[in-house]
Amino acid sequence: MNVVVAPVLAVILGLSVRSRFRAVVLYLVIQSLFFTFQTLVVLLSWMGGEGGFGGATDQGAFGPAPTGFPVAFESGEVFAYGLVNLALIGVGIVIMLAVAALRRRRAAHRETVQVAD
């Protein structure tokens, strides 16, 4: 879900919000909501035994589905999940700033063309 939301949201905010600071803050706020929802969906799917990506029911996102508490998991997988999502957010910020820079460049070019006419 985050893979789809990050670039789409980045382009929309890059085109519509003038202030880069406000755009980044708004992007981070919206992404934090999507990240929380995505994490909950992945966790509940795994704990429910629905499997991970692709619907494999024997191996969930973090190994076999838990059968009781405390839940056994490997901390490396949790850190990897966080790092991948952090990288996606970083890529989204870069895309947003690039789109905003292109928008500014296009606006400046239009102004110079209008002044020349």
pLDDT digits (tens, 9 = 90+) for 38-88: 888 887 777 777 665 555 555 655 666 677 777 777 778 778 888 988 999
**pLDDT recorded at residue 23:** 92
Task: Choose among 77, 90, 87, 88: nearest CA to 42.
Answer: 77
pLDDT digits (tens, 9 = 90+) for 29-52: 999 998 898 888 887 777 777 665
Separation CA 116–CA 80 (nearest Å):
54
